[in-house]
A and B are shown apart, each in its own frame.
Chain A
Amino acid sequence: MSRQPVIVGVSDAPTHERGRALPGTHVLNMQRDCANEALAEAGLTMADVDGLAVAGMWGMPGPGAMQPNLLTEYLGIRFPKWLDGTNVGGSAFVLHAGHAYEMIKAGVCDTVLILYGSMQKSQAARSLGGRPALFSNQWDMVSGLPSPAGAYAMAANRHMHEYGSTRETLAEIAVATRAWAGLNPKAAFRDPMTLDDVLNAAPIVDPLGRYDCCLVTDGGGAVVMTTAERARDLKTKPIYVLGHGESASHVNINYMPNMAHLEVAEQSSKRAYAQAGRGPKDMDMAMLYDSFTITVLLTMEALGLCAIGEGKDFVKGQRTAPGGDFPMNTNGGGLSYCHPGMYGIFLLIEATRQLRGDAGARQVEGLTNAVCHGTGGVLSSGATVVLSNARD
């Protein structure tokens, strides 16, 4: 039990001007600052780090193709015992936490740094255009499917067709998430929003409008994991990682087995719950990747927070907003807080802060268990972790 993996440090990079990195920041010193801050709050230093997990889209083609090597060098980590550069899209960091769980538990390494940084807004690097239509992309790109929004729009239309969810269902999610962002001083968009604001916003890809889509921002973050035994001497309240799971099914939305049912999340969360010995009914809050509002709707159903097709009732009447029955995406999400391209690390950071009681104005009282689920690609990959502030 002494090697029970825990999260002991978290940090997210400050931004200004609606999600732009501070002057003097680049993608490496941003990650250094996040790493140092997350280590410092636990009372650790870079010298304690013996495992590193990173993913990102920067520096490619070029040194960014081998990010674990580059960050080991840049941060001066001496001969790490474990490296992970798995990139399965924005879910990657939740998957890294699951892998770190196994490595720490097995004694391969003691202190893991999970790290992410992105300057996509400042560098206007988001554009996915101009790439060759390779492999299975031949069909999507020749058809002019806007990526990734068009793929999520197809899933949304299919979900609406099968289960009677509506644009109002999706708007409930956008509005609740914005209300949480209003309580997060680091959120890029904090002004209150109404259902009508969402429904009347500029259409992008039917049925998704502007506020159904995540932000494009800079940003970065760090998560530090170690053993419960080591955490006894550290400064923060340890948050237990109790279970994890991951899966993947496709690259292009046309080959998603069932566009109305996020089976990768169902598979991944089943394993996480079983390992944790806690199920969806035990979860007091959820951090669900919100690249688009439909991502959240599909994920909550797949994770068993409600039955398949019943997400429309789960979110109705702002049930997931501040003061509602079920707190969800309490940092303001990718929809209103930040979305630097790969958002998954922020799910872990926020759940940790909430479970510790460190979430400031947005703190939810009485929390014990949280589920984090990251989605990558176009509903392509999924990774789940179950976190708790109580081991037993």
Chain B
Amino acid sequence: MESPLHHFEVHTIIPIHIGGLDLSINNAVVAMWVGLAIIAGSFMLVVNRGVSPIPGKLQSLLEVALDFIRNMVFEFIGEEEGRKYVPFIASLFLFILACNLIGLIPGSYTITSQLAVTGAFAIGIFIMTLVIGFGKHGAHFFGILVPPGVPKIMIPLMVPIEIISMLARPISLAVRLFANMTAGHTVLAVLFGLAMTGPLWLGWLPFGFTVVINGLEIAIAFIQAYIFTTLTCVYIGDVIKLH
């Protein structure tokens, strides 16, 4: 009987060691490449075939997705400022969504269930917001630590609270995606283990649940990708507008 956490393990496929660095190709990297290939490939297919005024199936799907993301960015960052962030947010959303959905195929690997992956995304976004904030406002950017309308006497109390809430943002961003994916896949594995080990007259019950929960997981894959990108937009919008 396999452990329910077995499918989160990373196996090295092609070992590569360069100067003490472990750059091996493992199953997580392969899953990431597949996600990248699906997204980049489908866009390249549409563009190579020629973007037609009467969209085909794939083209209209991608157009709807991009339109949805663009509206989201405009809503949270603003139309003027948001325009240059649309490509970044769109690739983030589509990549996370592709990785979440690939993970639902039995036997594949969910790279978003690794805290290292989601943490790298979140830390990158955090540093990016700091760079945008300092680049745009200079020293005025420290004003984000003092919310508007706070009495002067409260400022020594509010600054540490604001610093903590700033630091909590990337971590809650990373932990949310990681925890949701890990929890969902563990539940699936446990239920499937029950279905496999139980006798047939009882085993159909947990097996039915795996089917239902798989459907739920598809919804969660969309929701989590959506939440991750919405919050990225909110954080970028916050540092641009400074309240």
Answer yes or no: do A and B interact. Answer: no
A-side residues, CB < 8 A to B, are: none
B-side residues, CB < 8 A to A, are: none
